[in-house]
Amino acid sequence: MDSDQINKMVDGMEKEVDGIRQEALKMAWYMRGGLTYEQALFLSSKERQLISELIKENLETTKKSGLPFF
């Protein structure tokens, strides 16, 4: 690999890490202490996906029911 390819690969990895961090922070916020940011960082990709789906379902249920979420 030349230096341009390496830089592109590193940039891609940095974006992926930023995405994981953002997802972990959102999960920790939505879980309100049920899952810490540090714990979210150690979840597998599949576990993060499943929790994200659960959060989305709960948000939709809250909207439909009219109950307060925040």
Output the tens digit of pLDDT for each of the chain's 70 residues.
899 999 999 999 999 999 999 999 999 999 988 999 999 999 999 999 999 999 999 889 989 998 877 6
pLDDT at position 70 is: 63
Q: Determine the structural domain holding residue 30 and report its residue range.
A: 3-65
- SS3 readout for the chain: CCHHHHHHHHHHHHHHHHHHHHHHHHHHHHHCCCCCHHHHHCCCHHHHHHHHHHHHHHHHHHHHHCCCCC
40 domain-assigned: yes
Query: Residue 70 domain-assigned?
Result: no
User: What is the total count of domains within the chain?
Assistant: 1
50 within some domain: yes
Query: What is the pLDDT at residue 67?
Result: 83
pLDDT of residue 52: 94
